[in-house]
Amino acid sequence: SEPAGKDHGSAGGSYDTGIPICRLLGSEPPKKMIYEWIQIKGMGPMSSSKGVTIGPVEALELVPPEILRYVIARSKVNRHIDFDTGSTLFEMADEYERMLTETSKRVEGGLTRRQEIARKTNEGALRLSQLKRGNDPKNSWAGVSFRHLALLAQIKNEDSSIWNSLWKSGHIGKKPTSVLEERLKRMRNWINGPHFPEDYRIDIQEKISKNAKENINGQQIDFLLYLKNILMNLEWNEDGINNGIRESAKEVDIKIKDAFIALYWLLIGKNNGPRIVSIISELERSEVIDLFESISNVKS
């Protein structure tokens, strides 16, 4: 068989036109196999003839190739694919990581026929996503989630600082693998380009912004001032910081949701974003305390 896009397989298309030519030359035409188009979300079919602004080559500069292959391998050939280099890419990476975890688990007890088919389909999609036949899919992710790498790449300018952070957190050994180095390179390209989703963009503030002052209330300011003192002495990791936030919220009697919103406003100048505890833990304590000091003159 010779796969072709649906335009070639339509009535009177190139496949139909080629049938009599094949027979005239003494052979039977290849078996017909038609696949749907890949569409850029919100922009229509991916087509060089129509001038779509991002194609496979450019996409490979932004996205791990395993993810691009997975997008295709997981889809039925008769359904079009919506390719999105924005927030959906995070969701696709999450799905890929989840599949890696689930397919590596030992299954206790029997599976229904439907569950067994789904499991084999997922395993097949992961195998087909690898660059070389026979590669173990687990090696493609190098121990670091897509979201965490996106966070680190925005907070830390030097690659060496990222490797040091990942080493301290136990994600990697003292040196990154070549796979992880390539992933970081693509991640930086994505972050610095026009396709990175604004909701995931991180801009650490040096002092409380005008927008933050206008959007947080007196109780939230009291919470931030109380938390500042707690941050000076707690253990500087995610668990320690998370406990400090919750302890401060309880002492000030503020809803935990409002407490986190205040932190988002102070640190990144908007009311939501990537996990704020992870962001704080990756910053220097002195840098965070200096930012908290800037709210001292804000009236509650």
Please state, in angstroms and rounded to a whole number, the distance separating the CA atoms of residues 84 and 82: 6
What ranges in 129-237 are assigned the alpha helix state H? 146-155, 159-168, 178-192, 210-215, 218-231
- Does residue 280 carry a pLDDT above 90? yes
User: How many helices and strands (H and E) does the chain possess?
Assistant: 15, 5
228, 195: one domain: no
Please state, in angstroms and rounded to a whole number, the distance separating the CA atoms of residues 42 and 221: 41
215, 179: one domain: no
The radius of gyration of the chain's CA atoms, rounded to the nearest angstrom, is 25
Q: What's the chain's average pLDDT?
A: 86
Question: Which domain covers residue 153, as residue numbers?
Answer: 143-200
In Å, how far are 252, 264, 273 from 204, measured between CA atoms?
A: 25, 10, 11
Q: Which tens digits make up the pLDDT trace of 20-70?
A: 999 999 998 888 888 777 766 644 454 544 444 566 677 788 888 898 888
Please state, in angstroms and rounded to a whole number, the distance separating the CA atoms of residues 277 and 238: 6
Who has greater pLDDT, 119 or 187? Answer: 187
Query: Quick one: pLDDT at residue 106?
Result: 59
- Examine residue 239 and state whether it is found in any structural domain, yes or no: yes
pTM: 0.78
Task: CATH number of the domain at 234, please.
Answer: 1.10.10.350
Number of domains in the chain: 2
Q: Which tens digits make up the pLDDT trace of 144-170?
A: 999 999 999 999 999 999 999 999 989
- Examine residue 279 and state whether it is found in any structural domain, yes or no: yes
Q: Greatest CA span in the chain, whole angstroms? A: 88
- Examine residue 219 and state whether it is found in any structural domain, yes or no: yes
106's CB contacts (< 8 A; 6+ apart) are none
